[in-house]
Amino acid sequence: MTIDVDEQWKLLIGGSWIDAGASYEIVDPSTMAVVGHAPEATAAHAADAARAARDALPGWRGLSMAERGAHLARLADALEARCHEWVDLVQAETGSTINITETMQVAGAFIDRFRYYSRPVDVNETVAPFRMTKTALGPAGLLGAYVLRQPVGVVACITPYNFPLVNVAGKIAPALMMGNTVVIKPAPQDPLGILRFGEVLDEILPPGVVNIVVGSGPEVGAALVESHDVNMISFTGSSPVGVRIVEAGARTMKRNLMELGGKGALIMTDDADVDAAIGGIASVWGFHSGQICTAPTRVICHRSIYDRTVSALAGIAGMLPVGDPLDRSTIVGPVITETHRDRVEAFIRSGTEAGATLVAGGERPDRPGFFVSPTLLADCTADMHVVREEAFGPVVVVLPHDGDDEAVAIANDSEYGLFSYVYAGDMSRAFDIAQRVESGNVALNGVQPHMEAPFGGFKMSGIGRDRGVWGLHAYSEVQAVNWPS
Ligand code: NAD
């Protein structure tokens, strides 16, 4: 399907498509061509959307979980039938390769989340009877209690640019199933696929249950964080923005789910399977140009296999096809914007200036668009900016270690703790290391996440967990009801 650059995109508020009155350009990161004009909402639109979500709340939370689940199942069916039509649009605005777009941006987890959460689950619990002595409040006896999970209310879902539809689905599917209503504020860089998705939401859900506001700057998201009509912020994005949101939201006692930055440590012990590990590490370059919060970008490699690992990684980095994301042989596409490309380049320079060895990449590919070559920096030390901060680009740093204790110490010498990896020949040794790593998730001898295990970060990588039943818990308030028995 071709993209209509002149399409009039609107905001979804209370079941109506609202003309924002202004717009801004969305640019294809690989060609720099304009893909479309996104509606430029104001803080007043954000307030209207929050009010619409609040008005829709009694009706939606009044449905049974089975009824809400039936809506989600219908949504999953409609997406399955329709979303292949959006591949061109989402590919163009995100710049992700056509292979990644088809399998992971506009399918896969995006639809699976609705299907998964459409199944009703009993999230309530009973508490063991409590033996009371006689008090001024009542006679001696037994008290029973039931712990109910109630919806939090209106949830503002503020999301990053890397996987726009997947990020939004991971939030709104459990939030809706728990009986909350939602305002989506997608990332400014690539919101058009979300607006297309809004057309399906609008057909299937009652008006106001999901609302969408879009803006080029932080103002629209900030207005939702300040709103008295919003009870919870479910945010995925960078840690500094997460801090600003938690600070601002404290004034209205917002509930927070914070999924923030990461600097994934990958520990290789002396008995690690080097070939398996380098396959996992190379995913940093090939999987959406390293624009992944969980990517294993910080390799902590035992000195006995260090040279072999670095030279094998350099070989792979030099072979990966970089270029046109529409070419099916391309592995590394662009990063999202010119500003971000410049930031990643400055990040790499800071590494070489601090004494790291540039083993592969580092140069700007000779073609239009916002490309960064797959880059490998070796001989890094834990104090370097390139080791401490996330690049959110195709950049891997390697540090040597001399034993498991040192490897764990280096891994933990980080503000982040989102997703870490251990490659070890002996699984019990890998498990022992995993338990000592300060990280919300640890994968052993592989880089695949378990999509139903709890996901979230230690330290500056976030607050709270989602996925699986933890997703339903995240979007609920706990209410205890007790009675004499
Ligand atoms: P970002 O923090 O720049 O922006 C994220 C969202 O926050 C955008 O929608 C933006 O408009 C909004 N925003 C900015 N300022 C705001 C404010 N003051 N109030 C309210 N909203 C505001 O992140 P990004 O560049 O889009 O994404 C990259 C970052 O996201 C990386 O740090 C990456 O690690 C992180 N990320 C984390 C996860 C995770 O699950 N932990 C997943 C994907 C990306």
Q: Are 256 and 181 spatial neighbours (Cβ–Cβ below 8 Å)?
A: no
The 3-class SS string of 66-93 reads HHHHHHHHHHHHHHHHHHHHHHHHHHHH
Report how far Cα 435 is from the mean position of its chain's Cα atoms: 24
Please list, in sequence order, all residues whose beta carbon lies within 8 angstroms of the beta carbon of residue 463, skipping any fewer than 6 positions away: 246, 256, 257, 258, 456, 457
Take atom 24 of ligand 1 and give the residue whose Cα is closest. Answer: 160
Determine whether the shortest distance from the Cβ of 242 to ligand 1 is under 6 A: no
Tens-place pLDDT, residues 170-195:
999 999 999 999 999 999 999 999 99
Determine whether the shortest distance from the Cβ of 466 to ligand 1 is under 6 A: no
Residue tagged 């591949």 (tokens): 87
Determine whether the shortest distance from the Cβ of 233 to ligand 1 is under 6 A: no
Determine whether the shortest distance from the Cβ of 166 to ligand 1 is under 6 A: no
Among the atoms of ligand 1, which is closest to the Cα of residue 239?
Answer: 32
Q: To which CATH superfamily is domain 265-451 assigned? A: Aldehyde Dehydrogenase; Chain A, domain 2 (3.40.309.10)
Among the atoms of ligand 1, which is closest to the Cα of residue 293?
Answer: 34
Distance, CA 237 to ligand 1 centroid (Å)? Answer: 2
Best probe residue, ligand 1, of 161, 168, 219 (max atoms within 8 Å of C-beta): 161
Q: What residue segments make up the domains of the chain, in order of their start?
A: 11-260+461-484, 265-451
Determine whether the shortest distance from the Cβ of 262 to ligand 1 is under 6 A: yes
Distance, CA 163 to ligand 1 centroid (Å)? Answer: 11
Per-residue pLDDT, 2: 81
Q: Which class does domain 11-260+461-484 fall in? A: alpha beta
Per-residue pLDDT, 1: 60
Take atom 8 of ligand 1 and give the residue whose Cα is closest. Answer: 187
Distance, CA 305 to ligand 1 centroid (Å)? Answer: 36
Distance, CA 124 to ligand 1 centroid (Å)? Answer: 32
Distance, CA 236 to ligand 1 centroid (Å)? Answer: 5
The pTM assigned to this predicted structure is: 0.98
Low-confidence residues in the chain, pLDDT < 50: none
Indicate the SS3 state at residue 157.
Answer: strand
Cα–Cα separations (whole angstroms), residue 118 to 61, 202, 232, 456: 15, 18, 22, 22
Strand 375-378's sheet: what is its strand order? Answer: 357-360, 375-378, 395-401, 298-302, 265-268, 419-423, 441-444
Distance, CA 13 to ligand 1 centroid (Å)? Answer: 23
Tens-place pLDDT, residues 76-120:
999 999 999 999 999 999 999 999 999 999 998 999 999 999 999
Q: Which contiguous run of DSSP H or E holds residue 247? A: helix 239-249
Q: Catalytic residue positions?
A: 259, 293
- For 119-131, letters b (16+ CB in 10 Å) and e give eeeebeeeeeeee
Q: Is the dihedral of CA 41, 47, 52, 56 positive or negative?
A: positive
Determine whether the shortest distance from the Cβ of 260 to ligand 1 is under 6 A: yes
Per-residue pLDDT, 485: 78
Please choose, from the candidates 187, 287, 307, 305, the residue with its C-alpha nearest in 3D space to the C-alpha of residue 236: 187
